Amino acid sequence: MVISILLGILFMGGIVGIAVMFVFNAIKAKRRPDLPKKNTLKRTIVSLAIAAGLLVAFIFVPFGFVQINAGEAGVVTRFGEPTAVLNSGLHFRNVFTQSVERYDLTVQRLDLEIEAHTQDAQPFTATATIYVAVEGDQLLYVIRRFGTLETLLNNFRPAAIDGVKAALVDKEAMELIQQRAALPAMINTMVSPIGEEFFLDIRQAALPELQFSRAFIDEIEAQMIAQQEIRRVQYEQERQVIEAETRRLMAEVEKQIIVIQAQADADAMEVMMRIWNGQVWQPYPNQANPPQNAVNEDGVYMHWADVFGDVAEMREMMLRQMIIETWDGRLPETVIGSEIFDILLNMFGNGSATP
278/312 Cα distance (integer angstroms): 9
Whether residue 206 contacts residue 181, with contact meaning beta carbons closer than 8 Å, is answered with: no
282/300 Cα distance (integer angstroms): 10
Please tell me which residue, 190 or 65, carries the higher pLDDT value. Answer: 190
Q: Is residue 352 predicted with pLDDT exceeding 50?
A: no
Query: Which of 222, 247, 272 represents a domain boundary (last residue)?
Result: 272
Comparing 79-88, 94-103, 175-184, 248-257, the range with the smallest average pLDDT is 94-103
Judge if 256 and 290 occupy the same domain.
no
What is the percentage of the chain residues whose pLDDT exceeds 90?
Answer: 11
pLDDT score of 242: 92
Judge if 26 and 60 occupy the same domain.
yes
Closest by alpha carbon to 149, among 199, 91, 205? Answer: 199
The answer to pTM > 0.75 is: no
- Angle at which helix 311-326 crosses helix 338-347, to 10 degrees, equals 60
Q: Is residue 287 predicted with pLDDT exceeding 90?
A: no
Q: Which residues pair with 202 in a beta bridge?
A: 132
pLDDT score of 354: 39
What is the percentage of the chain residues whose pLDDT exceeds 70?
Answer: 63
Q: Is residue 159 part of a domain?
A: yes
Whether residue 336 contacts residue 344, with contact meaning beta carbons closer than 8 Å, is answered with: no
Q: How confident is the model at residue 132 (pLDDT cuts 50, 70, 90)?
A: very high
Q: Mapping DSSP to helix (H, G, I), strand (E, B) and coil, where does residue 75 land?
A: strand
Beta-carbon-side half-sphere exposure of residue 227 (alpha carbons within 13 Å): 6
Q: Is residue 227 part of a domain?
A: yes
Q: How confident is the model at residue 353 (pLDDT cuts 50, 70, 90)?
A: very low
Average pLDDT score over the chain: 76
pLDDT score of 289: 73
> What's the pLDDT tens digit per position in 246-282?
999 999 999 999 988 888 888 777 777 777 666 666 6
Residues of the domain holding 47: 2-102
Distance, first Cα to last Cα, the chain: 140
Query: Which of 212, 230, 247 represents a domain boundary (last residue)?
Result: 212
pLDDT score of 293: 64
CA diameter of the chain: 187
Query: Which of 212, 239, 254 represents a domain boundary (last residue)?
Result: 212
340/347 Cα distance (integer angstroms): 11
Q: Is residue 239 predicted with pLDDT exceeding 80?
A: yes
